[in-house]
Chain A
Amino acid sequence: MKTKFQNNVAIAVIRVIAVLVVLILAFLLGDILISGVPHISWHFLTAPSQAFTSGGGIGVQLFNSIYLLLLTLIISFPISLGAGIFLSEYAPKNIFTATVRMAIEVLSSLPSVVVGLFGFLLFVVQLDMGFSILSGAIALTFFNLPLLTRNIEESLRAVPDLQREAGLSLGLSKWRTVIKVILPEALPGIITGVVLGAGRVFGEAAALIYTAGQSATNIDFGNWNPFNATSPLNLMRPAETLAVHIWKINSEGVMPDAAAVSAGSSAVLIIAVLIFNFSARVIGNQLYRKLTATK
């Protein structure tokens, strides 16, 4: 009797907490979206920002965010994939492996502002790369690498050992088994992790403030030569992203419509992150179904 009562109380408390969490989240999202969405227009999404007059947009910042995200993925995915495969399939139990794991652990718990400062001191100052997309992408790689590596390692580990034995027993080498059997089966989990990580990277500001910089220099969308200073693809230009833009408007924005721009930008950012999270689920599920269920 008493255990049952305790059990019911526990369940009730957990339910209340769960509902509370959902409510807070809904309130936050609702507040940001309701105040921000009305400011979103095609003009807002594409026009360059204005520092002193109203009517500015976020076109350059949006492009910078996406470009930086792509660069970060291009750098961090191959490294994480290699590290994840090593840790899951090959790493012997020794000091070296333990050190790698510890390094990943430490890296993943570093506050992003520290990652940003490190990037500032090493890349921006020491290596003289300046505030640049490249510095930003490397900082974001540090930020993304540990989680992505762990995600890939866990996705690979989740594939049952029976599959490894199946490959080996047919005369495949370990490497071929990993690449052709284990990796494809881990792919849904890996893709989900990549996309979720992309959402985190997309919304990251602290690591970028001192690396990619806080200015959206004018770029010329008619010029795609990456070696040209005004080209959108130029790696050495400073690039304020959407998240940094929001931070900057709120700390020192002087344009008359700062509140509106900030609200609109936040809404765009939130929508983008929601899309990332949502599509991570959808893509993961679909890939999984394609790989396992009836076609």
Chain B
Amino acid sequence: MGINKYDFNEKNILKFDSNEHELAIATKNLQVFYGDKHALFDGDLEFERYKITSLIGASGSGKSTYLRSLNRMNDNVARVEGEIQYRGLNVNSKKINVYEMRKHIGMVFQRPNPFSKSIRENITFALKEQGLKNKKKLEEVVESSLKDAALWDEVKDDLKKSAWSLSGGQQQRLCIARTIAMKPDILLLDEPASALDPISTSKIEETLVELKKRYTIIIVTHNMQQASRISDYTAFFHLGHILEYDKTKHIFTTPKVTATNDYISGNFG
């Protein structure tokens, strides 16, 4: 059985009724090319506001490619065609100020990547770059975003310490704090817990569930338990195609597409 055996036309993609669901962001016919390599075909997904959506699929199926297109992190690496609709704008257009856009659509990466600065500066740095100078205001943001990322109690006495003195899990939560300090709408996370131990992982998961009250969260994960534990919706990627998108509980109990079924039951490829 080859990995190509599935029919890419066998699809089940959830669409939202705009009267009942508020959309945060959506893509229309998104295509990504790395040079000649067509890495993502017809990405057509809608993301509901204040929900967690998981992107699952085998390694190399295009999850990161899709996610990184949403805040244009692929701009210099890949050619991205199609539409990304955000607040009535197509943010995949040349006219968009990507730097401004990225403040609204923040991103946390697979490996923790704090700056080589103190814990406090990791949070204040980008705010200062934006011109926020008020010390009191900055301190408030430091505290509130560290609290949101469930890190405050662990670091409040060590804000001067280098971020690299934290454990991997703490570093990752610092990166989450740093991102939400910008007050984004949408949080993109690319396998944020894949380099962490189970305890740190569950802390991150708790944090995300808490955060979805105020943020729309889109998370790539190769961990199916994680997807089923925390997410409301799940999209299944296969070889650059999005074959199924539905409520998480449907995906993991009654998937409609053969490939999804094989993937979640471990009969894949």
Contact = CB atoms under 8 A, between A and B. Distances in A.
Interface of A: 160, 162-163, 165-173, 176, 180-181, 184-185, 291-295
A166 B113 contact: yes
A37 to B, nearest CB: 42
A144 B233 CA distance: 59
A293 B175 CA distance: 18
B162 A169 contact: no
Contacts, number: 71
Interface string B148-186: 000000000000111011000000000100110010000
Top 3 nearest A-B pairs (CB, nearest first) are A162-B113, A170-B126, A171-B103
Given A170-B102, A171-B100, A180 B125 contact: yes
Contact of B115 (A171, A176, A181): A181
Is chain A's interface secondary structure helix, strand, loop, or mixed overall?
helix
B102 to A, nearest CB: 4
Interface of B: 71, 73, 99-103, 106-107, 109, 111, 113-118, 125-126, 129-130, 160-162, 164-165, 175, 178-179, 182
B125 A184 contact: no
A188 to B, nearest CB: 10
A107 to B, nearest CB: 30
Contacts of B106: 169-170
Contact of A294 (B73, B114, B116, B162): B162
A168 B162 contact: no
Given A162-B109, A293-B164, A294-B161, A171 B130 contact: yes
A292 B179 contact: no
14 contacts: A162-B111, A163-B115, A166-B114, A166-B178, A169-B106, A170-B179, A170-B182, A171-B101, A171-B103, A172-B126, A292-B164, A293-B164, A294-B162, A295-B118
Contacts of A295: 118, 160-162
Given A168-B102, A185-B116, A292-B162, 6 more contacts: A168-B73, A169-B71, A170-B129, A171-B102, A171-B182, A172-B126
